[in-house]
Structure 1
């Protein structure tokens, strides 16, 4: 598998423990090339920062800090880009072509994001006036694929012209959209719109308390509704988008996401169209240019080292013990430490003394993660599906997918990748790993890798080949690739290196801030408390910005702070929210909450 930056083998070859310590930056790393206005007068210039973790959060923190004159060294155990990266299918390149592209899951950068797009604009890309941001393209439509029923294709709205935003206007727009769900009873669509009106007019206090403790299933009254209502508006939203169960998912989190999408569709507070993806594999379109830029800023990358634990004394972090695949250990020291590891990998590295120094580290033990993992199917002909994402809402494993070749127009797929016979890549996300499938009657975790591929392929065909035409054929399947972070499936000990934070009720109150009570220790990752309140690339990027700001505040830097843009809030609804704040404090329900 190709890697960005140094490989583990080349980096650790021929080094003993003493040599490794020097290579890992016990000595000061190379100074960054910060610009004059950003570095001038700041007390942070020249201080060293160890960023632990090379996903979107770690790369963002490194980017922001290096621009402001700090000396940044980033340590990553596997490959730069983390869950966002693309990767090569081993031994798939032939005839001078590139290897077939694979990924943990397809990238989705909606218009509700603002902080990540700002970073994309600041990453140079040849021929692009706005850097990597110009590599975003907007799919034309999406489809809800029903098994045994008529599929529903929906045009995807762009950023559009801002529409009026009275509550009645919003209700009419939502009612019109839900009216396109042909099998959804009109009274249920109207009821769901009313439930959204309750959330849209709820004050922040009600959201943070009442709705944070209320499951989305309960809030939407899904138990009393039809199967279609449950699958589309309860299960479909939470399992396929938020990657958690409707019976558990926090209404605060789900409702905030839907609110942002509503405003995006109405042309309010949007960076761009509702649905955007990259026009090439992620590393080509984004990660590789980003790493090149950061190297130019003086960031030093150490790939192939795993964080084992932090050392702590005198009220500060004094070092980080890291280890390579061969068991070579070394101690990394710096003035500041940004822990940008995923929460499930970060928690074991925090000592009892660190947890005692800052209780929010201990509360992170209550955060939960689950599996949402990708598999790619390589096809010898382009499938006639839809010009965008497919949501197989009746599939037992909650599958979502996109055929990528038509969105990568800069090079014909067959000419650029693989052996010359692959015309498309159907990238699929598996959101449900704990329910039986349709072929073997086993959960995805109980299946072998081959069985997972066959099961997903069968579920895709059941959703797409049930309308009198063959969309996917066995003869057109060239090969498949399942995320290598998944191991041990089909055995009693399945493991996933790349789990995703989920959002059951109460999660919000256990998410930590980027600044900790340890004066030289900061947190970055999609589990950190950020305005979007969702495990996303936007959340990871925002947390990296907050970690950088916390560090700059801590040292009294005069450098400009990173911008942090929250989700859009419609000012037209402020009066209704103010009224609800009074009602909430009086113990009364929202005025539109009629049960």
Structure 2
């Protein structure tokens, strides 16, 4: 996406209080009137080419990749397939936040250890880069490699405190001729199951989403980047249900973001992609809204990936941490890794932003001052816990969302959707179910101890999460019983020292204006490159897709620096509908004239 600074005077966002019926009708009619502008023919949205680093033209082919997570492995994949000599240095575990791990000492009788993980995997149909990589990783019996290990999820369980949970289909259905008017009506219908939500507020939500869909790129980067999702949704003065479910819960459970801090552009971008994936109107988004792996992540993906990269010549050096990048004569001359010096032609820093910032010493910032913006980026926690159960829960297969829960819990029944017999493969044979739960809010008080997750011990977290799940899911169902708990496993990246919790794997939170501080894959130092979920990408979110895309951009930037004529790695942008190009053209004229969006009232 282009980097568009805010050069126009922006209309002030004033929160609504009450919405008269005539304004509700006016909003619905105005959303429909946008259609009359006409749709200009247009292809998929494309990012403007970013300026290249000065080319080295050395012809060198050695690349040192620091970080063996999604970005580092993706960069290594693209480069080794083009003949580069790649060494990946990883201080802990390959796969990063995407990995799974065995729960030590739980396997019995020849079974594998129970499967733990950082958090369950979620592969929306709008992901294109990750599935493309997966298709190029061989897997026994799969004609499309690891990609054939993705299975489609048809619905989700929505839980509400003290109310019976609902099973909701997550796909809207085929809408081949999607228009702004139809979009608004479709979203109103899709969220009509939410309890206690006033109809006029649901209509208002549909109008605001239509406003986002028909906003031009200039406004998205120049205005919506600098206001919060809570502001663009006009949450102030609305009902508790509107604020809790439509504004807060959908944001927190999807991207672990806080609506009062997160950039409206970021939340709107992923929201648009998910909605379009649900409609079936985009051929490129053919995987449905929700897909998961049919095995633990390392079995289904990471281990075959590492094996493939090794077969192509990638070398992995584990237990080695990057501590310094050494700059001489305007280029990186070496790196200090695990107390020794590493030399290469190109250096890829594919480690989390909180660990990258200390490496940006004064001479590096002098060479490229824009890199200093990384110190202003905010990270947050989204970490998982797994409950291993002696009895199946009886819940429908698919994701579970405890809407409005203090810790923004989402969960997934994994065992029923995995290949093989779970008790025969894992643990001691008595655990038949794996309920994997993501904790997206670590800063709100819980219902048992009245403390935040960061203030609780691991044992207290397991008690609190289970209590919230029962409160949100058990009314009228009895799905969760204390006596069924065999054991639990909290992500080992969370640790405690002196009563203070620490997380080794935080993720980027896209706060307002944070795009300005995020790096590109290339920088002003011609042989230094950056990968990770904090690097600018089309998906614009801390996701596997964004990290994978950044690895592809790193590979392309390395080839640019090497003056390499080989074909570049594909980088798949998000796709927009031609039906919205006409309204976007109208909005572009209004934005350049300093006027608000036509639906911004």
Assess same fold via TM > 0.5: yes
State which of 50, 73, 98 in structure 1 corresponds to 2:87.
73
Deviation digits for residues 95-116 of structure 1 (CA, Å, limit 9, x no counterpart): 0001000000100010010111
Equivalent residues in 2 for 1:29-108 (5 A)?
47-108=61-122
Matched with 1:379 is: 389
Deviation digits for residues 79-135 of structure 1 (CA, Å, limit 9, x no counterpart): 100000000101000000010000001000100101111001111111111111110
Matched with 1:319 is: 334
Equivalent residues in 2 for 1:120-139 (5 A)?
120-139=134-153
Q: Does the CA contact (< 8 Å) of 2:124 and 2:289 recur in 1?
A: yes
User: Residues 277 and 352 from structure 1, CA distance in 2 versus in 1: closer, same or farther, beyond 3 angstroms?
Assistant: same
Equivalent residues in 2 for 1:553-572 (5 A)?
553-572=560-579
Q: CA deviation at 1:182?
A: 4.2
Q: 1: CA distance between counterparts of 2:336 and 2:390? A: 48
State which of 356, 360, 363 in structure 2 corresponds to 1:350.
360
Q: Does the CA contact (< 8 Å) of 2:251 and 2:267 recur in 1?
A: yes
Q: Tell me whether 1:592 sits opposite 2:595 in the alignment.
A: no
Matched with 2:298 is: 283
Q: CA deviation at 1:143?
A: 1.5
Q: Does the CA contact (< 8 Å) of 2:165 and 2:475 recur in 1?
A: no
Matched with 2:232 is: 219
State which of 251, 263, 281 in structure 1 corresponds to 2:264.
251
Structure 2 unpaired stretches of 5+ = 1-56
Q: 1: CA distance between counterparts of 2:421 and 2:487? A: 19
Q: 2: CA distance between counterparts of 1:430 and 1:588? A: 41
User: Residues 386 and 227 from structure 1, CA distance in 2 versus in 1: closer, same or farther, beyond 3 angstroms?
Assistant: farther
SS at match of 1:494: strand
State which of 309, 318, 321 in structure 2 corresponds to 1:306.
321
Q: 2: CA distance between counterparts of 1:130 and 1:143? A: 30
Q: 2: CA distance between counterparts of 1:344 and 1:237? A: 26
Q: CA deviation at 1:547?
A: 0.5
SS at match of 2:201: helix
Matched with 1:33 is: none
State which of 398, 417, 430 in structure 2 corresponds to 1:421.
430
SS at match of 1:317: strand
Q: Does the CA contact (< 8 Å) of 1:46 and 1:71 recur in 2?
A: no
Equivalent residues in 2 for 1:78-227 (5 A)?
78-157=92-171, 161-227=174-240
Q: 2: CA distance between counterparts of 1:492 and 1:349? A: 28
Q: CA deviation at 1:180?
A: 2.7
SS at match of 2:455: coil
Q: Does the CA contact (< 8 Å) of 1:81 and 1:287 recur in 2?
A: yes
SS at match of 1:212: helix
Matched with 2:525 is: 518
Q: 1: CA distance between counterparts of 2:572 and 2:84? A: 24
Larger CA deviation: 171-180 vs 279-288: 171-180
Q: CA deviation at 1:155?
A: 1.3
Q: Tell me whether 1:482 sits opposite 2:497 in the alignment.
A: no
Q: Does the CA contact (< 8 Å) of 1:398 and 1:430 recur in 2?
A: yes
Q: 1: CA distance between counterparts of 2:96 and 2:466? A: 26
- Larger RCO, structures 1/2 (Cα 8 Å, 6+ apart): 2
Q: 1: CA distance between counterparts of 2:589 and 2:381? A: 40
Q: Does the CA contact (< 8 Å) of 1:434 and 1:443 recur in 2?
A: yes
Matched with 1:433 is: 442
State which of 486, 506, 511 in structure 2 corresponds to 1:504.
511
Q: CA deviation at 1:260?
A: 0.8
Structure 1 unpaired stretches of 5+ = 1-42, 324-328
Q: CA deviation at 1:406?
A: 1.0
Report the RMSD for the aligned CA atoms in angstroms: 1.3
Q: CA deviation at 1:183?
A: 2.9
Larger CA deviation: 301-310 vs 53-62: 301-310
Q: 1: CA distance between counterparts of 2:529 and 2:209? A: 36
TM-score calculated relative to the size of structure 1: 0.89
Q: CA deviation at 1:188?
A: 1.0
Give aligned pairs, total. 543
Q: CA deviation at 1:44?
A: 8.2
Q: Does the CA contact (< 8 Å) of 1:486 and 1:497 recur in 2?
A: yes
SS at match of 1:222: coil
Deviation digits for residues 9-36 of structure 1 (CA, Å, limit 9, x no counterpart): xxxxxxxxxxxxxxxxxxxxxxxxxxxx
Q: Tell me whether 1:404 sits opposite 2:417 in the alignment.
A: no
Q: 2: CA distance between counterparts of 1:415 and 1:219? A: 51
Q: Tell me whether 1:338 sits opposite 2:351 in the alignment.
A: no
SS at match of 2:163: coil
Deviation digits for residues 411-463 of structure 1 (CA, Å, limit 9, x no counterpart): 11000000000101110111111111111111111111111111111111111
Q: Does the CA contact (< 8 Å) of 2:245 and 2:404 recur in 1?
A: no
Q: CA deviation at 1:152?
A: 2.4
Q: Tell me whether 1:580 sits opposite 2:587 in the alignment.
A: yes
SS at match of 2:529: strand
User: Residues 581 and 456 from structure 1, CA distance in 2 versus in 1: closer, same or farther, beyond 3 angstroms?
Assistant: same
Q: Does the CA contact (< 8 Å) of 1:236 and 1:393 recur in 2?
A: yes
Q: 1: CA distance between counterparts of 2:92 and 2:58? A: 30
Q: Does the CA contact (< 8 Å) of 1:44 and 1:557 recur in 2?
A: no
Q: CA deviation at 1:308?
A: 1.0
Q: CA deviation at 1:510?
A: 1.2
Q: 2: CA distance between counterparts of 1:390 and 1:226? A: 24
SS at match of 1:445: helix
Q: CA deviation at 1:162?
A: 4.7
Q: Does the CA contact (< 8 Å) of 1:139 and 1:407 recur in 2?
A: no
State which of 473, 478, 499 in structure 2 corresponds to 1:470.
478
Deviation digits for residues 386-424 of structure 1 (CA, Å, limit 9, x no counterpart): 21111111211111101101110x211000000000101
Q: CA deviation at 1:493?
A: 2.9
Q: 2: CA distance between counterparts of 1:127 and 1:45? A: 39
Q: Does the CA contact (< 8 Å) of 1:79 and 1:303 recur in 2?
A: yes
